[in-house]
Structure 1
C-alpha cells in the first residue's frame, strides 16, 4: 500500500516539475544557451545566436529571465545551470537557500550547513531502487523516490553521476592559449568564416575539449577561451558545437 501511495505521489510530482535545464543546451525556461557558469548566448529556434555575453562578477548563468543571478538567488527552480559539480546536473551538489539536504549522486545525498555549505563528511544512500530527486523534498518531505515511479512519469535523478566524487579545484590546463595565441587563432579562423562571430578549435589542445569564441573589435579580436562540458566533451569544428563523440577532425 505504501508503495502505491509513493507512486501516486511521484506521478503528481511529475506534473509540477519544470523541464530539465542543462549546460550547453538552449534552455526552455528563458531561451538562453549557457556556455559555462559565467557566459551565455541567446537562443532562437532552439539554437544559440548573437554574441557571447559575460555575466557580471559574482553571478552565474541561470534559467531565470534575468539570466545572470547571484548565488543567493538560486532556488530549487532557479538553477546554476552549468553548476560546479562537473556537469552532473544543475542542482547536483548544490545547497539552495535554507536547504537541509542536497543530492550528490543519482542515489545519494548529503546535509547542508546553515550557511549553505555542502557537508560531505557523511554521504547517505537512498534505499534499494530509489533515486535522489531534490525537488521532491519540498513537496513530499523526501528526496529519495522509487525509480520505477520516476521512470513512469519521465522524471530523472537530480544528479547524473552514479557515485559521488568530491569536487576538486585544479589550475588552468597548460593548453590554455596566451592572449597573443588567441588573437592569432581568431585571425586564422576569420579566413574560413564570414560571420560577425565564430568559434575555432584550440589547436594546442589534443583532447579537443577547448575552443575559442572570436568576435572582431576594430582591428583586434574579442577572444574568449571556452571548454566543453563533461556530457559533450569534444569540440567539433564542422558544426562549431560541443558533441558527445570524438569527431574525425580531432587528431
Structure 2
C-alpha cells in the first residue's frame, strides 16, 4: 500500500513536469508548441496558431518564457530542451550531483562537472533513469509504469553504460592501491589548510610526474573514499590550482 501511494505521488509530480516539456504539445509554462528542437508555434487555449518560428542558431525550443534558449542554459530540469534529450544524457548539468548514463543507470558527478565512471549505480527493478526526477521528487530513478502513464521516456537511450576511454597512455601503468590513494588525500589535507576541513576535493597524484592523473578525495566515517582519475584528450594535464584538467602543462611536470 505504501509503495502504491509513493508511486501515485510520483505520477502527480511527473504530470506537473510533463505539461511543461512534451514535444509537439502546447506547453503550459510558456504557451508554445515545439515542433522540433529549433522551431515552434505560439499557443492559445491549448491550440497552436500562427506561423512557425525558427529559433536562432545555437538555441533550442524550451519550456522557458524566452522559448529559444542557448544550449548551454539547458540543465534538463529547470530549463528543458523540449524536443531533445541527448544533451542531458551522460552529462553533469546545473551542478547536479548525479547524471543518467543509461536507461537504468546513473553516476555520481564530481564538483568540476565530470562523471565519476567508478561510481555508477543501477536503478531498482522496474525503474528508469529520468534526470528531471531530481528536481521534481529528489530521485533520479522513476518507476517505469509512472513514466509510461505520463508519456515520459528515460533520459538516455542506451541500455548499458560504457564509459569512454579517459586513461592516458602516459598515466601510471597500474592504479595505486586504496591505501596509497588515502595517504595521498591525507597528505594533501595536511599540506593545504583550505582542504583540512573540506568534505571532498581533488588533488594531484604526486607519484605521477607527468601530472596526467589525480585523486578524488571524500571524507568517510573512518578515513577516505577515493577515486583514481586521469586527464586525457585536449586537456591531458591536471592543474592543482584549479582542480581541473587543462591543455597547458603546469610548471614542474615532466
TM-score of the aligned structures, taking structure 1 as reference length = 0.47
TM-score of the aligned structures, taking structure 2 as reference length = 0.47
Structure number, greater radius of gyration:
2
